Amino acid sequence: MLLSARLSQWALGTASGCPASSPTRAPRWTGVRVTFSTRSWWPSSTTRNVTFFIFGPLMMFLMHPYAQKRSRYVYITCILFMVVGLFSMYFHMTLSFLGQLLDEIAILWLLASGYSIWMPRCYFPTFLGENRPQFISLVIITTVVSTFLSFLRPVINAYALNSIAVHILYIVFHEYKKTSNKELRHIMEVSVVLWAFALTSWISDRLLCSFWQQINFSYLHSIWHVLISITFPYGMVTMALVDARYEMPGQTLKVRYWPRDTWPVGLPYVEVSDDKSC
Summarised one tens digit per residue, pLDDT across range 26-74 is: 443 333 344 444 444 444 556 778 999 999 999 999 999 999 999 999 9
Looking at the chain, the whole-number percentage of residues with pLDDT higher than 90 is 58
Q: Is 221 annotated as a binding residue?
A: yes
Q: What is the pLDDT confidence band of residue 265, given thresholds at 50, 70 and 90?
A: confident
Burial 110-144 (b: 16+ CB within 10 A, else e): bbbbbbbbbbbeeebeeeeeeeeeebbebbeeebe
What residues contact residue 5 under an 8 Å CB cut-off, 6+ apart? none
- Over the stretch 116-171, which tens digit does the pLDDT of each residue have? 999 999 999 999 999 999 999 999 999 999 999 888 877 788 778 878 888 999 99
Task: Note the pLDDT of residue 17.
Answer: 55
pTM score, two decimals?
0.83
Task: Note the pLDDT of residue 18.
Answer: 65
Q: Is 167 annotated as a binding residue?
A: no
Question: Would you say residue 82 has pLDDT above 60?
Answer: yes
What does the chain come to in residues?
A: 278
Q: What is the CATH number of domain 2-274?
A: 1.20.1070
Domain boundaries, the chain: 2-274
**Torsion region of 95: left, alpha or beta (phi above 0 gives left; psi -120 to 50 gives alpha):** left
Handedness of CA 110, 111, 113, 117 (dihedral sign): positive
Give dist(CA 85, CA 91) in Å, integer: 10
Closest C-alpha to 266, from 63, 50, 55? 55
pLDDT average, residue stretch 219-247: 93
